[in-house]
Structure 1
Amino acid sequence: MPKPFSFASLEDMPIIGILRKLPAAQLEKVVQLYQECGLSTLEITMNTQGASEMIRQLSDSFPQLNIGAGTVCKMSELEEAIDAGASFIVTPITDEKLISACKASGLPVFPGAFTPTEIYRAHEAGADMVKLFPAGLLGPKYIKDVQAPLDQIRLVPVGGVDLQNFCDFLQAGASAVGLGSQLFLKDAIAQQDWERLKKHFAAFVNKFRAYQAAL
């Protein structure tokens, strides 16, 4: 049984780290630093080799974190993720069958969408939050424009989000943001430069706390 997803943790630190194709040998160290810096929600993409085992391992080792599965496009991948103990599901697309299956399993689901019609369709199908992807082509203003008529829908922009602009997306109305390579520095991980990686994680946390304090 997966542990319940903590929306409170995500609201307190609205960053979803997206781990894609990280070598298994470096997994625990990277996630340890991630947690130490105050980040709380982590997505392992299902196109990562050994993704199911990574989700299972992290769920056991880091019970305070939200550990989910991303890039879920097929029912077979969803079944693997559920069996591994994922506490939430992220998809790059809107598939009503996948959304329904997540809801039936009691799992929060964040399907991907791009246009207002797709966003609303995902919401009506039962999405807990909608992954706006790719957000970099649209920018924060798009979030603000979409939220004007669709303010009941929680949006999570992914793609093109970085340290410089992530608070701009939040200020425009996003409920959280998702980051992959802009958060998990590949060269620092490859060189096992853990001090640099930890400082980079901390920069996101500190910037959000400063943004939060200024509200």
Structure 2
Amino acid sequence: MATDSSFSWERYYQAPIVGIVRSLPLDTIRPITQVYQDAGLFTLEITMNTPGAPKIISLLRKEFPGMNIGAGTVCTMNDLTLALNAGAQFIVTPILDERVVKHTVARQIPIFPGAYSPTEIHQAWSWGAAAVKVFPATQLGVQFIKDILAPLNQIKLLPTGGVSQENIRSFFVAGAVGVGMGSSLLDKQLIEEKDFDSLNQHFIKIKGEIQDFIQS
């Protein structure tokens, strides 16, 4: 049973999409997070190369207790320490760093480390990854997910990079347990225009593409 401070797998599986927020100011991220939650999406990653990322994570944790708020682009132990001290409920990395993965696992916090090759994917899983972020998925495609899962069917894969409304369903059909989405989810034009009603509808449409794979 998840507590207020722990990652909620129940909420995650209600909408298995990790929204990636990068380089936006807090006063923009706040309304995005509200719209995201209103659309029935609950897992949001703030990248550590976003200015003021630890403060943003900490504030979102307080203001949106029903969300999973995590840290992305965690590349070093220093990044990890800052993220965990800010209250990040999950960790995402673009690379495979043994110390970062094992330390996070020891803290019983879900980590989605980035991996590319079958060897890296298996290594990340063996170190205790909650799921392995296949990155960049745009270079590998849906067939790669199928090919990996044929011999390594016990591993949970989270393709990230190049996932869009047009292809998101195909990744789930291939066996992914979720996806990471950045610019294709957080529409830059709608955000710049502060058209949060349209952004809400955009989120709902993307979630609708994977309705068959959502656990209610």
Q: Same fold (TM over 0.5)?
A: yes
1:28-62 C-alpha deviation (Å, 9 max, x unpaired): 11100000000010000000001001100111111
1:80 aligned onto 2:82? yes
Gaps of 5+ in 2: none
Match for residue 192 of structure 1 among 194, 203, 214: 194
TM score, norm. by length of structure 2:
0.95
Partner of 1:89: 91
Partner of 1:58: 60
Partner of 2:179: 177
SS at match of 2:109: coil
When the two chains are superposed, the root-mean-square deviation of aligned CA atoms in Å is: 1.4
CA displacement at 1:207 relative to structure 2 = 2.0
CA displacement at 1:196 relative to structure 2 = 1.5
1:15 aligned onto 2:8? no
Gaps of 5+ in 1: none
SS at match of 1:149: coil
Q: How far apart in 1 are the matches of 2:202 and 2:98?
A: 37
Residue type of the alignment partner of 2:156? R
Contact 1:2 1:82 in 2 (8 A): no
- In terms of mean alpha carbon deviation, does 138-147 or 5-14 score higher? 5-14
TM score, norm. by length of structure 1:
0.95
Call closer, same or farther: CA 1:186–1:9 in 2, change over 3 Å: same
Contact 1:132 1:158 in 2 (8 A): yes
Q: How does 1:114-193 map to 2 (within 5 A)?
A: 114-193=116-195
Contact 2:172 2:210 in 1 (8 A): no
Q: How far apart in 2 are the matches of 1:110 and 1:22?
A: 22
SS at match of 1:39: coil
Q: How far apart in 1 are the matches of 2:26 and 2:70?
A: 16
Contact 1:158 1:179 in 2 (8 A): yes
Match for residue 32 of structure 1 among 31, 34, 38: 34
Contact 1:2 1:86 in 2 (8 A): no
Partner of 1:49: 51
Partner of 2:204: 202
Q: How far apart in 1 are the matches of 2:45 and 2:13?
A: 16
Identical amino acids, percent of aligned pairs: 47
CA displacement at 1:2 relative to structure 2 = 7.5
How many aligned residue pairs are there? 212
Q: How far apart in 2 are the matches of 1:212 and 1:81?
A: 30
Residue type of the alignment partner of 2:104? C
Residue type of the alignment partner of 1:96? E
